[in-house]
Structure 1
Amino acid sequence: MDVISLGETMVLFNPHSTGKMRYCQDFSTKVAGAESNTLIGLSKLGYQTGWISRVGKDELGARILSTLKGEGVDVSFVIRDEESPTGLFLKEKTNERQTKVFYYRKESAASFMSEGDINEEYLSSAKYLYITGITPALSSSCYDSVFHSIKIAKKHGLKVVFDPNLRKTLWGEHEARETLIDVAKEADIILPGISEGEFLFGEQTPEEICSQFHQLGVETVVVKLGEKGAYYSSEGEASYIEGYPVHKVVDPIGAGDGFAAGFLSGLLDHVPLQEAVKRGCAIGAIVVTVEGDIEGLPDKEELYHFMNTITSEDVTR
């Protein structure tokens, strides 16, 4: 196994029309979850990935498992909970400029994930543990599960990769800041955005954000800068990587998850850090041109074609 992650994946109901939800009669459904998005991205690139979680023993849970299995993600350690439902969320495209999201995840199956759900033998088979800041916010047992998985990873020599993925609606700012910093202290590699660095440390430049994380003991920091690319810092090596311009952003959701997949693929291939960050930037750019979190994730041939052919003359920002 190359990468294992744990977290919640839900089913998204997306309206076919614009306006308040009460007037929407038709919805399409998609599977969405930060961690599973990244695992699917890696699977499409040819790597072995595994997901640890809980889903309800219901049709939404079956949909999630079917989707992840179909995308090549191992779900053999996902528990089907007979007591709690699978989480879901709905989008409301109020008008052309405003989209609202309504979550129905309280007491969902995934929120009852516990330390006992983390199989040590299974987790120890991986090279990387990938976690986000969403999972510890779901419940106290999810919080414990995250730190338990980190403890196992360190025991068996796995590298811990952490995307803070701040969700302010899930918890209070003080608790969020304290927890995300505690997780960061245990991480080998961290992938924050500028806004997350500002939230955690009050810093606004990539250099300052990296410095703060290095002081916590993080070995490698990659600050995502959206369309501008990324800035990385590791063991005395630091540089800006220019982003890949896109003509039209169709759907920005999932870009960070795609970035993580591209970056992790570089680490797994043992390419220079600069090249790994470039892969992350490339997949982030590809993903935003397609509606949906996972629909635009490329295979390796598509990724290399994109990286080798796109220029500033092909598309404009």
Structure 2
Amino acid sequence: MDVLTFGETMIALRADRPLALNPNISATVAGAESNVAIALARLGHSVQWAGRVGDDAGGELIRRTLRAESVGQDHATTDPRRQTGILIFEQRLPDVARVGYYRQNSAGSALSSDDLAPALAGNPHIVHITGITSALGDSAADAVLRAASAAQEQGATVTFDVNYRSKLWSREEASSTLSALVPYVDVVIGSPDELDLLIPGQPVTAAESASAVFSLGVREVVLKLGAGGATLHSRHGTTHSPARPVTAVDSVGAGDAFTAGYISGLLTGLPAEERLYLANTLGAFAVSSKGDWEGLPTQSELSLLDAGNGTVLR
């Protein structure tokens, strides 16, 4: 197994205008961790996703989608007592959406460390965690902490996308939980305004925060800067890579795509600048099409961004 990731994947309902205006709605699936898993699988990596879904149509949609994308589910669980969570996107402007979560007491929120132990026994090279899973409840937060600790003991690389969601918890709550993960993490990925969650009450700049987490054992801090590209801080110095120029259609899922690109670069041993370039490339694909993961590339499609506008491949 190249990568193990876990968390909550939900039914994603996309409305082309506010619900109150009787919109057209399409259904798919979404979740930060499964978005990363799909992106990595499309690039040819062996990926397992662990989590819980309900014994319902939404759970079956998630299972079928991940199977179709070659994402392993050997350690996914169908919960007969809880329903699959729902996520609703309401489009307000061409690239501005309002998101509503309906996940309280959902199957995915009941994730526990017992769900992850068998998956970790497969000795993945990389274990990818996010702050979203930790926000789902005490059981899920404990599962993330135990998984990161076990992965470190096994010698796996632990990548951590902070992924702060203000609708799930306050910054104070997030900081209390997420800062406890830092000693077990090798690579931190996040936006500059998320890093202070990991070092509460201390640094104020991204560079200072990076230095602080290095002292706790983190090897790399990768900053997602959107249209500004990305910057890598490590003990060896700082590397910056500009964003790939594209026309943005939908920014949802861009951060997950970026993260998957960076993880792929780690797996294939790319140097720092090339890892960032690959991460920015996947992020560019994500913002160039609608949906969280639908427009992500396969390995053979990565060069499509170099084709000129209006190119038709025949």
Question: What TM-score does the superposition give when structure 2 sets the normalisation length?
Answer: 0.92
- State the aligned residue count: 308
Residue in 1 that maps onto 2:26: 28
Q: Which runs of 5+ in 1 are unaligned?
A: none
Q: Which runs of 5+ in 2 are unaligned?
A: none
**Does the Cα contact within 8 Å between 1:161 and 1:189 map onto a contact in 2?**
yes
Mapping 1:163-178, distance limit 5 Å: 163-178=161-176
Percent identity between matched residues is 36
Mapping 1:120-135, distance limit 5 Å: 120=118, 122-135=120-133
Q: 1:182 aligns with which of 177, 180, 183?
A: 180
Residues 203/288 of structure 1: CA separation in 2 closer, same or farther (3 Å cut): farther
**Does the Cα contact within 8 Å between 2:94 and 2:249 map onto a contact in 1?**
no
In structure 2, give the amino acid aligned to 1:14.
Answer: R
* Residue 241 (1) aligns with residue 274 (2): no
Residues 243/99 of structure 1: CA separation in 2 closer, same or farther (3 Å cut): closer
Matches of 2:282 and 2:92 in 1, distance apart? 29
Matches of 1:217 and 1:83 in 2, distance apart? 40
The alpha-carbon deviation at position 156 of structure 1 amounts to 1.3
Mapping 1:106-125, distance limit 5 Å: 106-120=104-118, 122-125=120-123
Residue in 2 that maps onto 1:58: 56
Q: 1:48 aligns with which of 46, 49, 55?
A: 46
* Residue 223 (1) aligns with residue 223 (2): yes
> How big is each residue's C-alpha offset from its partner over 1:180-222, in whole Å with a ceiling of 9 and x where there is no partner?
2221232001111122125555766543332232233211111
Residue in 1 that maps onto 2:74: 76
SS of residue matched to 1:168: coil
Matches of 2:147 and 2:184 in 1, distance apart? 11
SS of residue matched to 2:239: strand
* Residue 212 (1) aligns with residue 194 (2): no
**Does the Cα contact within 8 Å between 1:203 and 1:209 map onto a contact in 2?**
yes
* Residue 281 (1) aligns with residue 262 (2): no
SS of residue matched to 2:155: coil
SS of residue matched to 1:73: coil
**Does the Cα contact within 8 Å between 1:55 and 1:110 map onto a contact in 2?**
yes
Moved more, 271-280 or 56-65: 271-280
Q: 1:195 aligns with which of 174, 193, 196?
A: 193
Residue in 2 that maps onto 1:301: 300
**Superposition RMSD in Å:** 2.2
Q: 1:92 aligns with which of 90, 97, 112?
A: 90
> How big is each residue's C-alpha offset from its partner over 1:231-278, in whole Å with a ceiling of 9 and x where there is no partner?
1122323221111111x2111011111011111111111111221111
SS of residue matched to 1:252: coil
The alpha-carbon deviation at position 27 of structure 1 amounts to 0.9
In structure 2, give the amino acid aligned to 1:101.
Answer: V
SS of residue matched to 1:74: coil
SS of residue matched to 1:169: coil
Moved more, 77-86 or 221-230: 221-230
**Does the Cα contact within 8 Å between 2:7 and 2:108 map onto a contact in 1?**
yes
Matches of 1:213 and 1:188 in 2, distance apart? 10
In structure 2, give the amino acid aligned to 1:105.
Answer: R
Residues 94/226 of structure 1: CA separation in 2 closer, same or farther (3 Å cut): closer
**Does the Cα contact within 8 Å between 2:95 and 2:248 map onto a contact in 1?**
no
Moved more, 189-198 or 127-136: 189-198
SS of residue matched to 1:92: strand
